[in-house]
Amino acid sequence: MKKSTFLESLLAIMDGKHHWAWEHFSSGRLTKAQLKAHFHHEYAVYVRDFPVFLARILGKSPPPSVRHMLAENIYEEETGGLSLGHSHPELFLTMMEGLGFTRNDFEHDRLVPAARTYRAWLDRMSHHQHWVVAAATFTVFVEGSVKDRQELCVTSKKNHAKAIDAIVSRHPLVRYHGVLPKYMGLVRAHQLVEAGHRHDAYDMVVNYTPPALRPVVLTSVKKSLTLWLNYRDAVAKACGIPKPS
């Protein structure tokens, strides 16, 4: 399998990382209780421990250039040292406070079974014996989205303050749920540090995966997508969102 074929195969999988219920979350149709269930799962399943997942990959001793990218990502996720000076899990909880929830609301993991299955998969993959398989799971799949193909076609550039303000003002929590922009530090942090991030993730995985491991990486990312879709289906059901027929 050529590198170009491998890259296209990864992007084809990511083309499917879109869930039918997202329109409900992004259009203001959900109640606060439904939003709480959604965000509670997101926090417990991956947001809270994302720096730990990355640290496990770093502990597998990848090549020096990869270590640099991972270490920079961990530093930002855990400390916010490249953006706003607060960890991303902390910024997430601040955003939840802006929505009217308390930090105590997110202390206990009460997850639907499909969420526990997906979380167990993430834990397993973060310990994978091949660092690049783990890196593909987290830097390509978990951090990525259905927009990856589009983002890779655009030259990366940092957003200016006014552009970030505009992005924050358009966020569904601000537009539809009255969250004040001052609580949206997580969105600001992402915009401050994400320039080139998708390029780095794909360059790392595509350039460092040996040909023999490419099918393993693709299989792992495909399974991640399947488990993620099951997880999102289960959360949507728990929220009482009817699935289209």
pLDDT at 62: 96
What six digits make up the tokens of 113? Answer: 């079974």
Angle at Cα 234 formed by Cα 123 and Cα 73, nearest 5°? 35
Model confidence pLDDT, tens digit, residues 93-113: 999 999 999 999 998 888 999
pTM of the model: 0.94
Is 180 within a domain?
Answer: yes
**Statement: residue 157 has pLDDT above 80:** no
Model confidence pLDDT, tens digit, residues 35-87: 999 999 999 999 999 999 999 999 999 999 999 999 999 999 999 999 999 99
Is 190 within a domain?
Answer: yes
pLDDT at 113: 97
pLDDT at 99: 96
Q: What percent of the chain has pLDDT over 70?
A: 98
The confidence band for 195, taking pLDDT boundaries of 50, 70 and 90, is low
Number of domains forming the structure of the chain: 1
Is 16 within a domain?
Answer: yes
| Domain span at 75 | 3-238
pLDDT at 156: 67
- Please give the C-alpha separations between residue 167 and each of 35, 72, 152, 158, in angstroms, as whole numbers: 20, 24, 20, 13
What six digits make up the tokens of 61? Answer: 């001793």
Cα(206)–Cα(217) distance, rounded to whole angstroms?
A: 10
The confidence band for 197, taking pLDDT boundaries of 50, 70 and 90, is confident
Helices (H), 146-196: 148-152, 161-170, 172-175, 185-193
Is 245 within a domain?
Answer: no
What six digits make up the tokens of 23? Answer: 């329109």
Is 181 within a domain?
Answer: yes
Q: What is the mean pLDDT of residues 201-215?
A: 96
Domain harbouring 200, CATH code: 1.20.910.10
Is 120 within a domain?
Answer: yes
Tell me the average pLDDT of the chain. 94
Assign 210 to helix, strand or coil. coil
